[in-house]
């Protein structure tokens, strides 16, 4: 990271893709290989280093055109990829429906329906993980319930439907992020009356066939509470520490910055959730999307006068470097590649 352009380069979008609707990294690959969702529904693998694009499937997911945007968020398709690149999910963020696709056959294995319930306030809750040697997908099946399904067969792994009563809690599940070791899930949800409460729970400790929802498993911890503030940047630093954007406990007083939590220790006081996770550090500056390489915190916004992708020490809050004028929205953790979609090209920087 330098005071110049920092090695940012432009890569043309492959012929046949057209407009990119969404990108998802194949995070288990150290090469810069991505899944691409075109605006026409085509899904393909794109090896940026080799300059090779291969269409592998297409989504049949319908749009939800009658939805009014909520807080500026319009319903839009989003692509997710399993780490091994065998499966994809296409979902309608701020909408109700989605599907899981086996990329080896091109066939849908699971139709997704979150059953509504203020779904317009959150991205579609979904994350891929590995469990018992197979790919599984964690997904929202009710406003306050998550389930786990086998990505290949679509089989439900968290108990038969007639025993899966709606949970009593009022947690509206949001965006999900799996920890680097695959054992835990970070959930950016909210509770009524509107308070964003990011929560971490243990996926590895959930017995197969468990009837309860997975976020009710052992190891569940709330990080903090912020009135009227959720659907915000956050990331795992490693499989213990989490970085959450925003300094303050209410949307009206929020300032750009990062808070770092130890998700294995609790007991810290918080206005909205007693015995919250222990906060290790907080510092002003980071904004935009959050990413990490396991050591540094990266932010892709324009706060603190940095004007581009910035790297920070999550322990001290020290600014380590900037890539000026570069505002990525995607990160490939295996290849340490950052990507900004720019019309008929993407702008790329590699750490």
Q: Which of the four pLDDT bands, split at 50, 70 and 90, describes residue 68?
A: confident
Q: Which of the four pLDDT bands, split at 50, 70 and 90, describes residue 4?
A: very low
Give the list of residues 6+ apart from residue 74 with CB closer than 8 angstroms, or none: 67, 94
pLDDT in tens, 192-236: 889 999 999 988 766 666 655 666 666 789 999 999 999 999 999
Rounded-to-integer distance, Cα 307 and Cα 116, Å:
38
Q: Is the peptide bond before 105 cis (omega within 30 degrees of 0)?
A: no
Residue 74 CB: number of other CB atoms within 10 A?
Answer: 12
Percent of the chain with pLDDT over 90: 74
pLDDT in tens, 294-304: 999 999 986 55
Of the chain, the end-to-end C-alpha distance in Å amounts to 8
Rounded-to-integer distance, Cα 106 and Cα 247, Å:
44
What does the pLDDT read at residue 3?
Answer: 41
Which stretch of 85-99, 169-183, 237-251 has the lowest confidence by average pLDDT?
Answer: 169-183
pLDDT in tens, 157-203: 887 655 555 555 688 999 999 999 999 999 999 998 899 999 999 88
Rounded-to-integer distance, Cα 38 and Cα 19, Å:
6
97: tokens are 């429906």
- pLDDT, the chain, mean: 90
What does the pLDDT read at residue 218?
Answer: 63
> Is it the case that residue 332 has pLDDT exceeding 80?
yes
Residue 59 CB: number of other CB atoms within 10 A?
Answer: 22
Give the list of residues 6+ apart from residue 201 with CB closer than 8 angstroms, or none: 184, 185, 187, 214, 215, 216, 217, 219, 220, 221
What does the pLDDT read at residue 312?
Answer: 97
Question: Residue 94: which of 169, 2, 172 has the closest Cα?
Answer: 172
Burial letters 136-170, b for 16+ CB under 10 A, else e: bbbbbbbbbbbbbbbbbebebbbbeeeebeebeee
The residue-averaged pLDDT of 138-154 equals 92
The domain limits of the chain are: 1-13+233-351, 59-222
The residue-averaged pLDDT of 109-135 equals 94
pLDDT in tens, 18-67: 899 999 999 888 899 999 999 999 999 999 999 999 999 999 999 898 88
C-beta of residue 263 within 8 angstroms of C-beta of residue 251: no
> From residue 111, how far is each of 88, 117, 143, 335 by CA, in Å?
12, 18, 17, 31
23: tokens are 């990108």
């Amino acid at each position: 990271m330098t005071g110049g352009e920092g090695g940012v380069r432009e890569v043309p979008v492959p012929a046949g893709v057209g407009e990119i609707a969404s990108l998802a990294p194949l995070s288990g690959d150290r090469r810069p290989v991505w899944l691409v969702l075109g605006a026409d529904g085509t899904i393909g693998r794109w090896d940026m280093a080799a300059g090779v694009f291969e269409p592998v499937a297409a989504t049949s997911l319908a749009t939800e055109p009658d939805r009014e945007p909520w807080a500026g968020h319009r319903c839009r398709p989003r692509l997710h990829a399993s780490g091994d690149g065998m499966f994809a999910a296409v979902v309608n963020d701020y909408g109700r429906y989605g599907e899981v696709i086996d990329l080896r056959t091109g066939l849908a294995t699971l139709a997704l329906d979150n059953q509504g319930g203020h779904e317009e306030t959150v991205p579609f809750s979904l994350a891929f993980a590995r469990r018992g040697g197979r790919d599984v997908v964690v997904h929202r099946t009710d406003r306050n319930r998550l389930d786990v399904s086998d990505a290949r067969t679509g089989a439900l792994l968290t108990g038969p439907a007639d025993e899966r009563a709606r949970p009593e809690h009022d947690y509206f599940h949001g965006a999900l992020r799996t920890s680097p070791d695959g054992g835990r899930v970070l959930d950016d949800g909210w509770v009524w009356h509107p308070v964003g409460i990011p929560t971490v729970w243990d996926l590895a400790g959930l017995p197969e066939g468990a009837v309860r929802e997975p976020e009710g498993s052992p190891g569940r911890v709330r990080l903090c509470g912020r009135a009227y503030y959720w659907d915000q940047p956050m990331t795992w630093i490693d499989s213990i520490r989490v970085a959450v954007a925003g300094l303050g406990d209410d949307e009206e007083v929020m300032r750009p910055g990062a808070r770092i939590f130890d998700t294995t220790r609790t007991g810290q006081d918080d206005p909205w959730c007693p015995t919250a996770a222990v906060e290790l550090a907080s510092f002003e500056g980071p904004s935009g999307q959050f990413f990490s390489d396991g050591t540094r915190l990266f932010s892709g916004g324009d706060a603190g006068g940095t004007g581009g992708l910035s790297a920070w020490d999550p322990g001290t809050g020290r600014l380590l470097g900037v890539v000026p004028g570069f505002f990525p929205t995607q990160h490939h953790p295996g290849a340490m590649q950052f990507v900004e979609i720019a019309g008929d090209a993407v702008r790329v920087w590699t750490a």
